[in-house]
């Protein structure tokens, strides 16, 4: 009997020790990455949207992914979500819709080090790119999906340990590009003029984004990794729309305005919620350097997409019938809008270890050590 009691105590101790190890990893380590956002970090959620045309689970996407598999990433290989997780020593978090029906989503979260809620085409506004029928999962819906997981986490771990787990995790948020494109590119192509109330539009985005970030905070998040907008006006699609093949400076201007507003918003949140911590990466300036010093980063083609057709390979999407380049490492852009695996890796490496030139107020490695 004493033997069985000793064995029971050992098993209980072993379970508690290992359970707490998951929750309280050493300083500088995050137990999980929770991802919200758009196509830059979608790892397959859109594959599960029955009527969406915003899917990329077909060749030539994934040509450089293990086994040349088209996973639903808008990339020739891995994307920003993959490299962000790798830099944290974690596996890539699975797409939420792939585990939505799982009987124990919390086990998936704990075992795989996160969940990815991102959806290609998503925006801050619910209606972004989904005006007529559902094309993507809006940020609002992504948070609702996280709320479901959050409730199960609280039930299974208990409030204290669940809160500790979430407070140590990093919440990666990549959103806003589609709102800008939807407003300033699509409206402009229809109306042929500057949309009214542009500054009010940015302010409206910030009001909603702030509300969503506070909701995520109230669900346990304390460490945010925010990705600013890139050089939207220089993506191949907008170049191809320009008769001179130049960048769309109006789109770039609004990318800058958005980034300034996000920086101010995060500063405001820090004043209101003193236990919140964040890292914001200036993707825009990194991409400016890509274009101005391409050889320094290993690039030789900065204008054209690798996969597509027509002018700048951006007038026909990256479909199975399209051509794709052999020298993918030389390209900044994979398709009409998205970076190659090589470009995404450089940006995420800067996010993790970069200096104040690109990240504010700390890089992700420093964020982990708080």
Three-state SS letters, 130-168: CCCCCCCCCHHHHHHHHHHHHHHHHHHHCHHHHHHHHHH
Q: Is 335 a catalytic residue?
A: yes
Q: Where are the beta strands (DSSP E) in 69-228?
A: 114-116, 170-174, 223-227
Q: Is 250 exposed, middle or buried (0-12, 13-18, 19+ CB in 10 A)?
A: middle
Angle (CA) 293 297 298, round 5° = 110
Catalytic residue among 60, 150, 277, 338: 338
Q: State the DSSP code for 351.
A: H
Q: Is 150 a catalytic residue?
A: no
**C-alpha to C-alpha distance for 346 and 112, rounded to whole angstroms:** 24
Distances, alpha carbon 209 to alpha carbons 49, 206, 262, in Å: 24, 5, 9
**C-alpha to C-alpha distance for 238 and 304, rounded to whole angstroms:** 11
Contact 2/62 with Cβ under 8 angstroms?
A: no
Contact 305/240 with Cβ under 8 angstroms?
A: no
Closest CA to 39 of 120, 124, 144, 96: 120
Q: Is 39 a catalytic residue?
A: yes
Catalytic residue among 6, 29, 39, 240: 39
Instruction: Tell me if residue 90 falls in helix, strand or coil.
Output: coil
Residue 12 CB coordination number (10 Å):
10
**C-alpha to C-alpha distance for 313 and 322, rounded to whole angstroms:** 9
What is the edge-to-edge ordering of all strands in the sheet holding 359-360? Answer: 114-116, 33-37, 170-174, 223-227, 277-281, 359-360
- Residues designated as active site: 39, 335, 338
């Amino acid at each position: 009997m004493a033997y069985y009691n000793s064995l029971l105590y050992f098993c209980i101790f072993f379970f508690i020790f290992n359970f707490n190890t998951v929750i309280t990893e050493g300083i500088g380590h995050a137990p999980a990455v929770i991802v919200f956002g758009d196509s830059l970090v979608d790892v397959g959620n859109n594959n599960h949207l029955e009527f969406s045309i915003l899917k990329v689970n077909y060749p030539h996407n994934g040509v450089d992914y293990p086994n040349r598999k088209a996973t639903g990433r808008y990339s020739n290989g891995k994307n920003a979500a993959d490299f962000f997780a790798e830099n944290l020593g974690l596996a890539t978090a699975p797409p939420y819709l792939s585990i939505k029906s799982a009987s124990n989503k919390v086990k998936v979260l704990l075992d795989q080090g996160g969940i990815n809620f991102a959806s290609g085409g998503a925006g801050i506004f619910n209606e972004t790119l989904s005006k007529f029928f559902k094309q993507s999962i809006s940020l609002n819906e992504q948070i609702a999906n996280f709320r479901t997981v959050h409730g199960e986490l609280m039930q299974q771990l208990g409030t204290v340990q669940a809160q500790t787990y979430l407070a140590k995790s990093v919440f990666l948020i990549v959103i806003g590009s589609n709102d800008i494109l939807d407003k300033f590119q699509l409206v402009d192509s229809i109306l042929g003029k500057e949309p009214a109330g542009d500054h009010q539009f940015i302010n409206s985005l910030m009001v909603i984004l702030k509300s969503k970030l506070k909701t995520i905070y109230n669900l346990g998040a304390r460490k945010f990794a925010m990705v600013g907008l890139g050089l939207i006006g220089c993506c191949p699609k907008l170049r191809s729309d320009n008769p001179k093949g130049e960048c769309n400076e109006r789109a770039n201007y609004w990318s800058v305005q958005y980034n300034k507003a996000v920086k101010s918003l995060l500063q405001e949140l820090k004043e209101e919620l003193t236990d919140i911590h964040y890292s914001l990466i200036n993707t825009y300036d990194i991409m400016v350097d890509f274009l101005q010093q391409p050889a320094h980063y290993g690039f030789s083609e900065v204008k054209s997409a690798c996969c597509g057709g027509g002018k700048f390979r951006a007038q026909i999407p990256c479909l199975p019938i399209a051509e794709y380049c052999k020298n993918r490492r030389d390209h900044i852009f994979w398709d009409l809008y998205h970076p190659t695996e090589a470009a995404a890796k450089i940006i995420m490496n800067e996010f993790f270890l970069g200096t104040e030139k690109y990240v504010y107020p700390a890089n992700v490695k420093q964020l982990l050590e708080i």
